[in-house]
């Protein structure tokens, strides 16, 4: 055996108290776990509270959406009504002028607004009777000329033409059926008549 001076010295580790160190680490882990648990619990409580608030407010939101939708529908209907009121007003003015321009011996029996492709027409059907010796064709021509010459009535029209005419007897009196076709002018003038401006 070697003398003690020549022997290899073994490294001795300092002696740690394992139990207190282990308890300390365990305590730290428990504290971290507890803190994380509290944070998760709080977050879950917030989520639950917000979910309950959302569910409580959902009927109000649905009512608000329904009211908003109703307002939009009413706004659209109002715009349509405003447009129709404008149209009726302008057409009523045209019809009043038309009524004032009808000479004696002429009666209108029907009128309509017709379309052929891009063209639009106001078509007037009527009857003419002899009046104070005036020829029926002359009465209709005079009526047509009066419509053309009245600037307020003719505004928005491009042309007024005499359509088919037909003579017939009604209770032994000779009358003439006639048609006047009033062609509406281009888009800008149509807009004036239809009330879209």
Mean pLDDT over each residue of the chain, to the nearest integer: 79
pLDDT value for 68: 82
Q: What is the pLDDT of residues 115-146, one digit of tens each?
A: 888 888 899 999 998 777 678 888 899 999 99
Q: In what order do the strands lie in the sheet with 106-116?
A: 106-116, 119-128, 173-184, 157-170
pLDDT tens, position by position, 142-160: 999 999 999 999 988 999 9
The token duo for 7 is 């022997």
The pLDDT tens digits for 74-89 are 887 777 666 555 555 4
User: What was the pLDDT predicted at 14?
Assistant: 57
d(CA 94, CA 157): 11
In the DSSP assignment, the letter for residue 135 is -
pLDDT at residue 42 above 70? Answer: yes
pLDDT above 50 (res 180): yes
The pLDDT assigned to 183 comes to: 92
Q: Is the pTM of this model over 0.75?
A: no
CA dist 25 and 31 (Å) reads 10
Rounded-to-integer distance, Cα 139 and Cα 128, Å? 7
Beta bridge partners of 108: 126
- Please say if the pLDDT value at position 179 is more than 80: yes
Q: Is the pLDDT score of 37 beyond 80?
A: yes
Q: What is the mean pLDDT of residues 14-24?
A: 67
Rounded CA gap, 10 and 35, in Å? 45
Asked if residue 180 lies in contact with residue 163, where contact means CB atoms within 8 angstroms, the answer is yes
Phi and psi at residue 40, to the nearest 5°: -65, -40
Per residue in 97-110, pLDDT tens?
999 999 888 989 99
State the pLDDT at residue 160: 93
4 phi/psi in degrees, rounded to 5: -65, -25
Q: What homologous superfamily does CATH list for 84-194?
A: General secretion pathway protein M, EpsM (3.30.1360.100)
């Amino acid at each position: 055996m070697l003398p003690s001076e020549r022997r290899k010295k073994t490294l001795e580790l300092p002696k740690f108290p394992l139990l207190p160190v282990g308890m300390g680490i365990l305590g730290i882990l428990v504290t971290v776990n507890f803190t994380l648990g509290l944070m998760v619990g709080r977050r879950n409580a917030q989520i639950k509270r917000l979910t309950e608030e959302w569910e409580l407010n959902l009927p109000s939101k649905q009512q608000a959406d329904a009211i908003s939708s109703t307002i939009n529908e009413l706004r659209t209907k109002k715009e349509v009504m405003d447009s129709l009121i404008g149209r009726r007003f302008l057409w009523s003015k045209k019809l009043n002028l038309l009524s004032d321009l009808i000479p004696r011996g002429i009666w209108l029996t029907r009128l309509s607004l017709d379309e052929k492709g891009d063209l639009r027409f106001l078509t007037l059907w009527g009857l003419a009777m002899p009046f104070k010796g005036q020829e029926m064709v002359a009465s209709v021509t005079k009526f047509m000329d009066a419509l053309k010459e009245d600037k307020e009535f003719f505004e928005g029209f491009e042309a007024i033409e005499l359509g088919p005419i037909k003579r017939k007897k009604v209770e032994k009196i000779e009358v003439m059926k006639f048609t006047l076709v009033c062609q509406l002018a281009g888009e800008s003038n149509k807009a004036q008549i239809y009330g879209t401006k």
